[in-house]
C-alpha cells in the first residue's frame, strides 16, 4: 500500500538517468517565450525540411541561447551582489548545503516498522524501536568486567611486566609515546 501511494505521489525514476537540475530561477517569461518559439520552429522544420525553415529555426535558437545567457548573467550578478554583503558568508553556506541536498540520490528516511508491521515516522519512537530490537536475547550485551579498585598508591611497573609487554609487540614497529622500542 505504501509503495503504491509513493509511486502515485512521487513517481518512478529510471535507472542510469542523469539528474537534471531544472534551475527554476532561469525560467523567466522572456526565456520561456523564446524557448517555446524555438521549439515551435523546430517542429515546423521537421514537418517540411526547407532551407527557409532551417534558417528561421537557427535564428530562434540563437535568440533563445542569448535569452538564457542574459537571464543567467542577471541572476549571477544578483547573487554576487548578495555575497558581497555582510550576510554573504551565511548565504554561501546555505547555497552549498542546498546543492549538497540536491545532489543526494535519496532523501534520508527514518521510518521503520514496529512489531505489528505499522510504519513509525516519529524519530523518538523509531529510536525506541531500535533500542527494543537490539535489547533482545539475540543481541546479548555481556556485562563489562571490572577489577576491584586498588586502595593506596599505584605500584610502579616492574621489569618483568615491561619484558612481557615487549614480547607481545611486533618488531620493526614505531615506538609509542614512551619511546621504548621492541628491539631493545
As a whole number, mean pLDDT of residues 5-29 equals 69
Residue 31, pLDDT above cutoff 70: yes
Residue 169, pLDDT above cutoff 90: no
Residue 177, pLDDT above cutoff 60: yes
pLDDT by residue (tens digit) across 109-133?
667 888 888 888 787 888 888 888 8
DSSP secondary structure string for all residues of the chain = -HHHHHHHHH--PPTTPPP----GGG--HHHHHHHHHHHHHHHHHHHS--HHHHHHHHHHHHHHHHHHHHHHHHHHHHHHHHHTSTTHHHHHHHHHHHHHHHH-SS-----EE-TTSPEE--HHHHHHHHHHHHTSTTS--PPPP-PPPPPSSPPPPPHHHHHHHHHHSPTTPPP-TT---TT-
As a whole number, mean pLDDT of residues 69-85 equals 88
Per-domain boundaries in the chain:
23-103, 109-140
Averaged confidence pLDDT in the chain = 83
Residue 160, pLDDT above cutoff 90: yes
pLDDT score for 52: 94
Amino acid at each position: 500500500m505504501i509503495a503504491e501511494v509513493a509511486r502515485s505521489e512521487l513517481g518512478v525514476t529510471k535507472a542510469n538517468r542523469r539528474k537534471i537540475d531544472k534551475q527554476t530561477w532561469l525560467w523567466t517569461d522572456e526565456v520561456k517565450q523564446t524557448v517555446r518559439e524555438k521549439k515551435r520552429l523546430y517542429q515546423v522544420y521537421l514537418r517540411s525540411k526547407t532551407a527557409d525553415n532551417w534558417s528561421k529555426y537557427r535564428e530562434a535558437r540563437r535568440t533563445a541561447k542569448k535569452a538564457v545567457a542574459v537571464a543567467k548573467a542577471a541572476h549571477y550578478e544578483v547573487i554576487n551582489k548578495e555575497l558581497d554583503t555582510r550576510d554573504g558568508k551565511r548565504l554561501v553556506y546555505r547555497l552549498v548545503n542546498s546543492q549538497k541536498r540536491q545532489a543526494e540520490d535519496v532523501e534520508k528516511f527514518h521510518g521503520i516498522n514496529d512489531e505489528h508491521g505499522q510504519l513509525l515516522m516519529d524519530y523518538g519512537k523509531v529510536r525506541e524501536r531500535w533500542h527494543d530490537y537490539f535489547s533482545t536475547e539475540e543481541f546479548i550485551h555481556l556485562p563489562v568486567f571490572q577489577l576491584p579498585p586498588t586502595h593506596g598508591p599505584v605500584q610502579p611497573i616492574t621489569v618483568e611486566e615491561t619484558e612481557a609487554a615487549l614480547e607481545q609487540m611486533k618488531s620493526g614497529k614505531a615506538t609509542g609515546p614512551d619511546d621504548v622500542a621492541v628491539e631493545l
